[in-house]
Amino acid sequence: MIARTSPIVQLAIRAATPIALLIAAYALFAGHNQPGGGFAAGLLLGAVIVLRTVAGLQRPAYASTLLAVGGAIVGAVAIGPLLWGEALLDQVVVTWDAPVLGTVKSGSALLFDLGVMAIVVGLVIAVLDGLGATSLVDRGLRADEDDVRPRRSEPRP
């Protein structure tokens, strides 16, 4: 079994994190015209958080904040068009000319996808928190132990 405090595993996860974040950003922005979007980007970010948590590189936090903000964004984008007499979930497309990029087109679907991404990441963090997920290092495991039971600091009565 791989050692719980393996610097090789931590290094591999640190090296893979930027690549996974780049793929998640691509999935988010390409989701309007191709498969992907907020859900796919949220799952990729959730996988990064899970790997980094298990390796002891970070602790999951702010699940309720992400869920609330994501829900508020999705709700506002969904109900917003009703205020102007349009249909529910109607998309507004905005086009502008950027100096280097040329004509850039975006719409309210991007905001909706950002809200969905926040909800998915918040749910992944909530599941990790609910399962009591901490890094394997924090559980008191030594690198040479074969089982996954934590060490006890005091004898049992």
Asked whether residue 152 is assigned to any structural domain, the reply reads: no
Asked whether residue 145 is assigned to any structural domain, the reply reads: no
Asked whether residue 24 is assigned to any structural domain, the reply reads: yes
Overall domain count for the chain: 1
Q: Which of 10-19, 87-96, 111-120 has the lowest mean pLDDT?
A: 87-96
**Calpha distance 49→152 (Å, rounded):** 28
pLDDT at 153 over 60: no
Asked whether residue 48 is assigned to any structural domain, the reply reads: yes
Tell me the average pLDDT of the chain.
83
Asked whether residue 62 is assigned to any structural domain, the reply reads: yes
Asked whether residue 1 is assigned to any structural domain, the reply reads: no
| pLDDT tens digit sequence for 13-35 | 999 999 999 999 999 988 876 77
Share of the chain above pLDDT 70, in %: 80
Q: Is 62 left (phi over 0), alpha (psi -120 to 50) or beta?
A: left
Alpha helices, DSSP H, located in the chain: 7-30, 38-54, 63-83, 108-130
Asked whether residue 146 is assigned to any structural domain, the reply reads: no
Asked whether residue 18 is assigned to any structural domain, the reply reads: yes
Range of the domain at 87: 7-130
pTM of this prediction? 0.78
